[in-house]
Amino acid sequence: MSGSHSSANSIPFLDLVTPHVELEQELTEVFQKALRTAGFIGGPMVEDFEKAFAAFCEASYSVAISSGTDALRFALMACGVKSGDVVVTVPHTFIATTEAISQAGALPEFVDIDEQTYNMDPAKLVEYLERQCTVNDAGALISRRSGRPVTAIVPVHLYGQMADMDAILELAERYRLVVIEDACQAHGAEYFSRKRNRWMKAGSMGRAAAFSFYPGKNLGACGEAGAATTNDAAIAKTMKMLRDHGQATKYYHDMEGYNGRLDSIQAGLLHVKLNHLAKWNAQRRERAAEYNRLLKSADGAVVCPYEGLRSRAIYHLYVVRTADREGLMEHLKTAGIGSGIHYPIPLHLQKAYAAMNYRKGDFPVTEKTAAEIVSLPMFPQLTAAQQGRVVEEILNFTSMTARKQVEADAGTLTSADRRA
């Protein structure tokens, strides 16, 4: 990951330098405190951050963990996902989602996404549960594809946009499945639960949830970091043991665990930055609203993110879709504007998962989405002027493409006329 600072005319995809320069004094004090107490592992810096992060997520407990990937793995394991189980998720996500499932000993199986939200489509989940599973004599739900028991669902709140949790939780209840949220891109995103009749935060709705504090995330460490949240004391306790060699008391190992702790310096740095997260998220929402407004001039050549009435997204990424994605990215690059693709190859078509025997065409919405999406510059410090330039270049490109299309159509017509 590069933390490239914006030079005179270029606009970075992400500016990680400015927020750290702004907070340099406070962040440096964290290092000094750790150095002077040699409090590097565990201790009050970790515990204070955990309390503050749980409060931010409106969850009862948070457990600081070495990465988002490990947080998701420990959350799955603590929620009872066992070796040989099937865990249902989406193919349109970062591979860490399925790595965590595999590393918990389970097998990921996919359902397609919704074409507006890019998150798990509850209708596809119903179809999977009804048509691609059977119930065996013991009453267990068995996947026809793998012959294994389906025990959990991992919805991913991709780009900081909430998955449709009411529908997913209701299906989970009906089929007695546990729901573990992949909230690695959704620190502070909110969803209006009809069932509870109130707004709820990402990470407070599933049995447990995982967050990543990779530097580029909305809340990022100065290194690797993650956390899991839950409202269940027993699950929190198990996750704490899993991250620390299966011990609650030093050298009394109730099970085998991992070395998955978060170090104290990162926890301290995260605590400083957490105090700014609500403001940063609000700034991202303002930038997103401004992109939406400005991009109306593209006359539908660029499709903006969809945010339902029951969702308050925190725009970890601002993702648009357009027919000639490669052309647009090339144009932006020439203009000195950063962009990205999240993600270009759906998981079911990755080489790593060739043995799963999924084929092209299995998840058409994911495949079409992956071919058309592009992530535009998005970070709290993005200025209105920078944003204006990004959109100006997008409009230059779309009008140029439209003009070429008109010329090409006219050309076809002329030769057709000539033939007639």
User: Which residue type is seen at 7?
Assistant: S
Q: Does 118 bind ligand PLP (CB under 6 A)?
A: no
User: To the nearest whole angstrom, how small is the minimum distance from the Cβ of residue 72 to ligand PLP?
Assistant: 6
Compute the least distance from the CB of residue 420 to ligand PLP, in Å: 55
CA dist 308 and 382 (Å) reads 24
**Chain-centroid distance, C-alpha 389:** 27
Position 69 contacts ligand PLP (CB under 6 A): yes
Q: Is 154 in the site for ligand PLP (CB under 6 A)?
A: no
SS3 state of residue 368: helix
Residue number with CB closer to ligand PLP (59 or 262): 262
> Is residue 346 at the binding interface for ligand PLP, with CB under 6 A as the rule?
no
**Residue 93 within binding range of ligand PLP, rule CB under 6 A:** yes
Is residue 218 part of the contact set for ligand PLP (CB under 6 A)?
A: no
- Beta-carbon contacts of residue 112 (< 8 Å; ≥ 6 apart): 90, 91, 121, 124, 363, 364, 365, 366
Considering only 53, 128, 191, 214, the residue that binds ligand PLP (CB under 6 A) is 214
Q: Does 339 bind ligand PLP (CB under 6 A)?
A: no
Binding window for ligand PLP (CB under 6 A); candidates: 64-72, 159-167, 364-372, 400-408 = 64-72
In terms of CB distance, is 182 or 263 closer to ligand PLP? 182
Of the ranges 88-96, 161-169, 286-294, 388-396, which one interacts with ligand PLP (CB under 6 A)?
A: 88-96
The piece of 63-71, 146-154, 259-267, 332-340 that touches ligand PLP (CB under 6 A) is: 63-71
SS3 (DSSP) at 153: strand
Closest approach of ligand PLP to the CB of residue 139, in Å: 32
According to the binding rule CB under 6 A, does residue 226 interact with ligand PLP? yes
**Is residue 184 involved in binding ligand PLP (CB under 6 A)?**
yes
Contacts with ligand PLP: how many residues (CB under 6 A)?
14
> Distance between CA 86 and CA 102 in Å, rounded?
9
**Residue among 212 and 398 whose Cβ is closer to ligand PLP:** 212
Rounded distance, CA 55 to CA 75, Å? 18
Nearest to 316 by CA among 94, 17, 54: 94
- Mark residues 357-376: x for contact with ligand PLP by CB under 6 A, - for none: --------------------
Task: Give the nearer residue to ligand PLP in terms of CB position, either 101 or 304.
Answer: 101
The least CB distance from residue 174 to ligand PLP, in Å, is 26
Q: Sign of the C-alpha dihedral, residues 283, 289, 295, 301?
A: positive
How far, in Å, CA of 126 to CA of 109, rounded? Answer: 14
Which residue's CB is nearer to ligand PLP, number 19 or number 68? 68
3-state secondary structure of 228: strand
Tell me how far apart the alpha carbons of residues 351 and 412 are, in angstroms, rounded to a whole number. 41
Candidate list 89, 212, 264, 322; residue touching ligand PLP; CB under 6 A: 212
DSSP structure string for 56-100: HHT-SEEEEES-HHHHHHHHHHHTT--TT-EEEE-SSS-THHHHH
DSSP string, 145-206: TT--BEEEE--B-GGG----HHHHHHHHHHHT-EEEEE-TT-TT-EEEETTTTEEEETTSSS
Neighbouring residues of 4: CB distance < 8 A, sequence distance ≥ 6 = 12, 15, 17, 338
- Interface of this chain with ligand PLP, residues 266 to 305, rule: CB under 6 A: none
Tell me whether residue 161 or residue 230 sits nearer to ligand PLP (CB atom): 161
Three-state SS at 179: strand
| Residue 97 touching ligand PLP (CB under 6 A) | yes
Is it true that the peptide bond before 353 is cis, omega within 30 degrees of 0? no
Q: Does 67 bind ligand PLP (CB under 6 A)?
A: yes
Could you say which DSSP state residue 298 is in? G
The residue among 1 and 416 lying less far from ligand PLP, judged by its C-beta, is 1
CA terminus-to-terminus distance, the chain = 58
Please report whether residue 94 would count as binding ligand PLP according to CB under 6 A: yes
State which residue has the least CB distance to ligand PLP.
Answer: 68
Q: Prior bond to 343 cis, omega within 30?
A: yes
Q: Which residues form the interface with ligand PLP (CB under 6 A)?
A: 67-69, 93-94, 96-97, 156, 182, 184-185, 212, 214, 226
